[in-house]
Amino acid sequence: MLPTGAHGTWPSPIDAALAASRDGRPEYVGTIGEEVWWTEPRPAEAGRRALVRRRADGSTDCVLPAPWNVRSRVIEYGGRPWVGAERAEGGPLVVFVDFADQRLYAHAPDGSGEPRPLTPVSSVGGGLRWVDPRIHLDRGEVWCVLEEFTGEGPTDLRRVIAAVPLDGSAADDRSAVRELTDDGHRFVTGPKLSPDGRRAAWIAWDHPRMPWDGTEVMLADVTDDGTFTDPRSFCGGPEESVPQIEWGTDGQLLFASDRSGWWNLYRADPDRGAVALRPREEEFSGPLWKIGLDWFQPLENGLIATVHGKGATTLGILDPRSGELVDVAGPWTEWAETLAVHGSRVVGIAASPYSAYEVVELDTRTGRTRVIGAPHEDAVDPAYCPRPEERTFTGPDGREIHAHLYPPRNPERTGPEGELPPYVIWAHGGPTGHAALVLDLEIAYFTSRGIGVAEVNYGGSTGYGRAYRNRLREQWGVVDVEDCAAVAEALAAEGTADRNRLAIRGGSAGGWTTAASLTGTDVYACGTIIYPILDLTGWGTDETHDFESQYLESLVGPLAEVPDRYRERSPISRTERLATPFLLLQGLDDPICPPIQCERFLAALDGRGIPHAYLTFEGEGHGFRRADTMIRALEAELSLYAQTFGIEHPDVPTVELKK
């Protein structure tokens, strides 16, 4: 029989440093010949992204030493920052974006030289930025998306598809960059060239739509000299979201669309229209938060590798002729939005409730899978990690609310008889996003100490069809708040959680939901608000970046038509209703949710006597990446709960809650 201990006080080997060291996941997998490449987080190296290479013999190494940071800032969330090509001589050639100056660089890793710049630096606004590159060795160019600032404001910019010479002639000469499209669309993805080289396809959209609301697939003819001619809209529209396109080996265009209410796959002949390949109430794609995400890839034999599912996802192989879909075997329950193929091999990045994201290879000839990169290793005895449960709760008007429940778990302790554990409701970011059911040591940091966690995929989340996403249309700050509260209250009513020790936390849009919950309900005893939106009017005018500058048109309504709604829902306008302690965490270099929002919120709260702490972090943007930041933030969060719930925790520094 296990010894008892008050919930929240259990001893745990999962400290904040361990959780921080495992934060992040591999991204942007690709192949260069027989090699597999990807980017990988380095929290201990100032949060940079490393470019990792797995050679044909199975050896793995980091291609670029610190401080090289392979990460794009296009639309601030970035996207695919690198591409490689196999050359007849000299080994692979890699083109990548470095975060520090956002220039494109070319690098021959098997040579002796350093990376050489391909693009110039601009002193105007945010400068020149690049993303989603494609190498065309035969043309001596790399084609990609160019984001060019035309002024100092965050929305003073243009985006076009451009061709950059591989010989470096544009490194100091902006005029040597060849623009392939005009700036007729506000947002574009990188161009995909048809197998015969005669057509290019890309995705475009404009304000005020977000890419999960409506996009267009654009086609253009490509002349012998690489000029795009006769650009035209092929499919999509204001109410149809197409997040990915690919050319099949037969020259037909494959695309994902939610025209049926679900992101399904279609095959389109430009002369004959589109055919659904596997009509199903599942998602075969997702929200285009970054440029160059991949949920499916055609194989050379005509089959299609596709990530799909409802809520959780898996990897399947689809026969587009018969519609047969065969899923891979393995423990993984969540596949990231990145796939690469080479011959009969498919490479992706996957995780499960008991394993972190790792690079997985499928051999479609044998059906066998194996981990080939970033392999999961148990950092601690798995008995300290939670056993999550998928739950569906009932919200207002009888609507379904999907959530993941992580009960407290520790092999050394159990709670005293009759004592219910405290629970923290986690609100994910986006809000057009999704909380995946995967191993997360930040969650285990709390559950191993006796504090439960419930991640809520509130109305507006992806993974459950367009109707579920559209629940949040003009209802942000209402539906998300109600759904999180409904889950919290249900856990208390069923005897899972202590009603008097409920908390809520979230970052970005989740920070908004947390602040809106604390100023709009009396469900929670405290909350952790991380790089949040707190003032809709400010954020909806000039206090964020271009990509989301008109996002509130759909989430709240047009500002010119409903200004009172913006004020009434904003936490900054409801500080008189705030009665609980809170922790506010903010990166000082955040262009998406800038510190000014936090500063105004605290000024409006001044004199109210509400216990709180405000921690800021130099060098951090939107999303914490540095190990020391994450350690301090996680320990401060635990300290908030300990002080609010009356828990003794001498093993973490006490964060001072000022009034």
> Residue 255: exposed, middle, or buried by beta-carbon count in 10 A (0-12, 13-18, 19+)?
buried
pLDDT above 70 (res 148): yes
Bigger pLDDT: 164 vs 269: 164
Mean pLDDT of 477-494: 98
- Sheet containing 296-298: order of strands: 296-298, 304-308, 314-318, 325-327
pLDDT above 90 (res 273): no
pLDDT at 559: 96
pLDDT at 270: 58
Among 163-177, 199-213, 225-239, 261-275, whose mean pLDDT is lowest? 261-275
pLDDT above 80 (res 41): yes
How many angstroms separate the first and last alpha carbons of the chain?
Answer: 44
**Phi, psi for 275 (deg, rounded to 5):** -130, 130
d(CA 203, CA 446): 42
pLDDT at 90: 81
d(CA 339, CA 344): 13
pLDDT at 650: 81
Domains of the chain by residue range: 45-295, 380-645
d(CA 619, CA 589): 6
Nearest to 524 by CA among 439, 442, 348, 644: 644
The structure's pTM equals 0.96
Nearest to 214 by CA among 191, 181, 243: 243
pLDDT tens across 381-398, in order? 999 999 999 999 999 999
Percent of the chain with pLDDT over 90: 96
Percent of the chain with pLDDT over 70: 99
pLDDT at 638: 97
The CATH superfamily of 45-295 is: TolB, C-terminal domain (2.120.10.30)
Name residue, tokens 């409904």: 486
CATH topology of 45-295 equal to that of 380-645?
Answer: no
DSSP 8-state symbol, 521: -
Q: Which architecture, in CATH terms, is 380-645?
A: 3-Layer(aba) Sandwich (3.40)
Mean pLDDT of 306-335: 96
pLDDT tens across 609-625, in order? 999 999 999 999 999 99
d(CA 381, CA 379): 7
Beta partners for 487? none
pLDDT above 80 (res 269): no
The mean predicted confidence, pLDDT, of the chain is 96
**Overall size of the chain counted in residues:** 659
pLDDT at 88: 86
pLDDT tens across 91-117, in order? 899 999 999 999 999 999 998 789 999
d(CA 455, CA 535): 24
CA R_g for the chain: 25
pLDDT band with cut points at 50, 70 and 90 for residue 120: very high
> Do the beta carbons of residue 515 and residue 600 sit within 8 Å?
no
- Sheet containing 389-394: order of strands: 389-394, 400-406, 452-457, 423-427, 502-508, 526-532, 582-587, 612-617
Helix (H, G, I), strand (E, B) or coil at 514: helix
What letter represents residue 367's amino acid? G
The DSSP-derived string for 241-252 is ---EEEE-TTS-
pLDDT tens across 505-524, in order? 999 999 999 999 999 999 99
The distance from CA 105 to its chain's CA centroid, rounded to whole angstroms, is: 25
Helix (H, G, I), strand (E, B) or coil at 238: coil
